[in-house]
């Protein structure tokens, strides 16, 4: 244990997080102030808050070398927990995401996210790492895709996707050339563009541009082309083979909020709440739309719509700026840290946070599907708050020791 020396903390990061948690507390209070089942939840959230700060403190105090050396066992345990949750997990809203131990409930996917970051960082921090070679690509892919598949099966696609997203950022940070990285991602673009546009020609154009930019070796080019060709041939064929009740299942999988019209309804209510807030907002505790019980998740997943209604554009912008500070300070820490492991952990942690922020905020403004991902630091919920603060603790850990090798 190192004695904490306050001046070494990253103060802008700490203050931004403190600001976000404060706004979160106030908003949870406002969102649950109307009579109903959730009244008084803010007190519970306050208790979680102290616990979360304590956890962050402990995580920051332990030297990251210990995390480095424990990364594989941690990863193994988290995978076991992910399998366990599929077997004995508690169902909520049709998804098995929780494990209950006595009065405690936690989501193994959150632990897996951190453990996977450690393992990936440890792997990429290898002395002989050469990401221009294919055999160095594959192990990290496997490391990230196993927890992704397990979490996606719960189903929790929103959280699950943070694994591959984190992986991509860490590939890049560990030195994979951007062109190669995009080329490697091309099957994903392929699938996405096919679903969005219904034709493969958009992808062909994009791919040609990519080739001109990356100029890969012949063997690599052939490999990538083969994968893309396989995807392009198999996908429409597979989709057409499916019958509408099977497609229905896939759609349900992509949108775990099973109620077919519930999701669209929430988004419209969210948009009305935010839009009616205007530039300056209706004032704290004065939102009329949040009073609608039509927004059933107003204190959790849709808390940002309450911020937008009561705080208006200015309030919502403040939150965006605070998140901006957190993310940019986080990436900056990764850039200045001298130790490879620490730097990579910082990138992984910040990317996972950023991804969750984006998925939630774009959902509340109606530009992303409803996936049931809470907003970091703001949404009501103990596990998420603790995990997010632990992530900040890890960043502060890196900040404290940024000059060490």
Partner 1 sequence: MPPGPPRRIRDERFSVLAGVALAGFLLVVLGLLRLQVVQREELSRLAEQNRIRLDVLRAPRGAIRDRHGRLLADNQPSFDIVFRPMPAESLSRSRTLIPTDWLLRISSLVQDDTTVIKRRVQEANRTGQTAVLRRNAPYSVMAAVEEMRADLSGVDVQVAPIRRYPEGTLGAQLLGYAGEINDVELEKRADAGYRMGDLIGKTGVERRYEEMLRGRDGAEFVVVNAMGKRVSTLSEGPPRPPIPGHDVTLTIDLDIQRALEEGMAGVEHGAAVVMDPRDGSVLAMVSKPVYDPNEFSRGITYARWRELIASGNPLLNRAIQSAYPPGSTFKIVTMLAGLRNELVKADTHLPTSCSGGYFFGGRRFGCWDKRGHGSLNLLGALQFSCDVYFYQLGLKLGLDRLQAVARAVGLGEKTGIDLPGETRGLVPTKEWYERRYKGGMPRGALLNLGIGQGELLCSPLQLALMTSVAANGGRAVRPHVVMKVQGVPEFRIEKPTEPGLDTSPENWTAVHDAMKLVVDAGTATVVRMPGIGVAGKTGTAQNPHGNDHALFVCYAPTDVPTIAIAVVAENSGHGGSVCGPIAAHVLRRVLLGDSLATAPPKRAAKRDSTRAVAADTLEVAGD
Q: How far is the CB of 155 from partner 1 (least distance, A)?
A: 11
- Between 48 and 171, CB nearer to partner 1: 171
Q: How far is the CB of 247 from partner 1 (least distance, A)?
A: 11
Distance CA 102, CA 79 (A): 21
Distance CA 152, CA 375 (A): 19
Residue 106 has phi, psi (to 5 degrees) of -145, 160
- Between 34 and 211, CB nearer to partner 1: 34
Q: How far is the CB of 275 from partner 1 (least distance, A)?
A: 3
Q: Within its chain, how far is the Cα of 256 from the centroid?
A: 16
What is the spatial order of strands in the sheet that 104-106 belongs to?
90-92, 95-101, 104-106
- Between 27 and 78, CB nearer to partner 1: 27
Locate tokens 């099977």: which residue?
A: 246
Neighbours of 50 (CB within 10 A): 9
- Between 61 and 86, CB nearer to partner 1: 86
- Between 34 and 185, CB nearer to partner 1: 34
Distance CA 284, CA 312 (A): 10
Q: How far is the CB of 77 from partner 1 (least distance, A)?
A: 26
Q: Is 154 left (phi over 0), alpha (psi -120 to 50) or beta?
A: alpha
Q: How far is the CB of 4 from partner 1 (least distance, A)?
A: 27
Q: How far is the CB of 58 from partner 1 (least distance, A)?
A: 27
Sign of the Cα torsion 304, 307, 313, 314 reads: negative
- Between 347 and 394, CB nearer to partner 1: 347
């Amino acid at each position: 244990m190192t004695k904490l020396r306050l001046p070494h903390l990253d103060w802008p990061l700490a203050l931004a997080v403190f600001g976000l948690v404060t706004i979160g507390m106030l908003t949870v209070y406002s969102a649950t102030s109307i009579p109903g089942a959730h009244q008084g939840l803010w007190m519970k959230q306050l208790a979680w808050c102290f616990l979360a700060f304590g956890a962050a403190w402990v995580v920051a105090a332990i030297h990251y070398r210990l995390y480095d050396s424990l990364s594989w066992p941690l990863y193994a345990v988290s995978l076991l927990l992910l399998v366990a949750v599929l077997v004995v997990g508690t169902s909520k809203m049709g998804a098995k995401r929780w494990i209950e131990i006595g009065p405690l409930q936690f989501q193994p996917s959150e632990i897996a996210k951190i453990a996977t970051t450690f393992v990936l960082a440890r792997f990429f921090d290898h002395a002989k790492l050469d990401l221009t070679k294919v055999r160095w690509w594959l192990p990290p892919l496997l490391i990230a895709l196993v927890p992704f598949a397990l979490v996606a099966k719960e189903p929790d696609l929103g959280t699950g996707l943070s694994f591959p997203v984190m992986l991509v950022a860490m590939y890049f940070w560990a030195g994979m050339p951007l062109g190669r990285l995009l080329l490697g991602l091309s099957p994903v673009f392929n699938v996405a563009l096919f679903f969005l546009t219904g034709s493969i020609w958009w992808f062909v154009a994009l791919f040609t541009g990519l080739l001109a930019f990356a100029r890969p070796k012949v063997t690599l080019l052939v490999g990538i082309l083969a994968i893309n060709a396989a995807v392009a041939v198999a996908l429409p064929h597979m989709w057409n083979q499916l019958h509408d009740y099977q497609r229905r299942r896939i759609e349900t999988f992509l949108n775990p909020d099973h109620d077919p019209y519930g999701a669209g309804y929430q988004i419209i209510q969210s948009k009305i709440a935010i839009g009616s807030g205007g530039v300056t907002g209706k004032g704290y505790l004065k939102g009329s739309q949040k009073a609608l019980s039509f927004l059933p998740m107003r204190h959790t997943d849709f808390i940002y719509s309450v911020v937008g209604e009561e705080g208006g554009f200015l309030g919502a912008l403040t939150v965006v700026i605070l998140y901006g500070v957190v993310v940019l300070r986080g990436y900056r820490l990764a850039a200045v840290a001298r130790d490879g492991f620490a730097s990579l952990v910082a990138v992984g942690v910040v990317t996972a946070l950023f991804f969750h922020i984006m998925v939630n905020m774009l959902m509340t403004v109606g530009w992303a599907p409803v996936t049931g991902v809470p907003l970091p630091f703001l949404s009501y919920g103990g596990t998420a708050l603790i995990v997010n603060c632990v992530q900040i603790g890890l960043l502060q850990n890196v900040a404290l020791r940024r000059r060490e090798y």
